[in-house]
Amino acid sequence: MGNDNTVYLKYDFLYNQNAFELFGTLDFQLKDGMHFQQIEGQFALFNFIQENEESLVRYYSDFFGVELASGGEGQERYYYLEFNGVNRGAVDAEHRAFLKNDFVIVGLLIYKIIFIDRNLELSSLKALQNMIRKDYEELKPDLYRLLARARKDSPSQMNDEKVDDIIRSAVVQFTRIGWMTFQEDTFDVHPSFQRLNKLYADYINNIDTIIRQMSA
């Protein structure tokens, strides 16, 4: 009995009064790549993680070999399962979110436009699509070749319409993992979008040069 009690205490999130209602949903969504933060629709799940962080960290490490990680501070804090690295854990591959290379490229451009170039009020998809075409007019051939390579398409088939579709698809994917919300033409960027900078800071800061080099 002593050993049983030790196990139960180790994963004491199971005794939380909201565990029965929330943990199943939380578990599935974390494994699908969702990021949780203090935004509408996520408050209860975010609070559950925050209140039970230590035992949840142990649970995902012991049972799945992955890290329940966090980023940001205060109101900007967010949580997610870390699948990077050689060991991607025991979570079934169909329940892991892998960003396609073309979506990563779009994400880096969005990050630069909003946070580095300080277009903090930008919330229109159409405006974003137009801004990428306008701001990268000189780099357009290189950018389009790079996107085509990322998609394994022919550069000759890449045009403004296809790039707009890629940008829209990327925003939809970012919504699925909690980096954004998107409805009709309006998107909002959430704290967890900062994970892009955490992963690709060197690329974001040199995106123009990288586009030229990688498209050659």
pLDDT digits (tens, 9 = 90+) for 54-94: 999 999 999 999 999 999 999 999 999 998 654 455 676 66
- Mean pLDDT on 144-155: 93
In the chain, the percentage of residues whose pLDDT exceeds 70 is: 90
3-state secondary structure of 96: coil
Round the average pLDDT of the chain to a whole number and report it: 91
The more confident residue out of 84 and 39 is 39
79 & 141 share domain: no
80 & 50 share domain: yes
Among 40, 65, 95, where does a domain finish? 95
> Is residue 96 over pLDDT 70?
no
156 & 200 share domain: yes
- Integer Cα distance of 89 and 72 in angstroms: 24
pLDDT value, residue 180: 98
Among 32, 65, 95, where does a domain finish? 95
Instruction: Please report, for the domain that includes residue 26, its CATH number.
Output: 1.10.10.2250
- Per the structure, the complete domain to which residue 210 belongs is given by 101-215
- Integer Cα distance of 53 and 114 in angstroms: 31
Token pair of 23 as six digits: 């943990």
57 & 160 share domain: no
Which amino acid, one-letter code, is at 162?
K
Stated pTM of the model: 0.90
149 & 86 share domain: no
27 & 74 share domain: yes
Burial of 20 per CB tally in 10 Å (0-12, 13-18, 19+): exposed
Q: Nearest to residue 54, comparing CAs of 41, 67, 73?
A: 67
Four-CA torsion 77, 78, 81, 87, nearest 10 degrees: -50
117 & 171 share domain: yes
122 & 201 share domain: yes
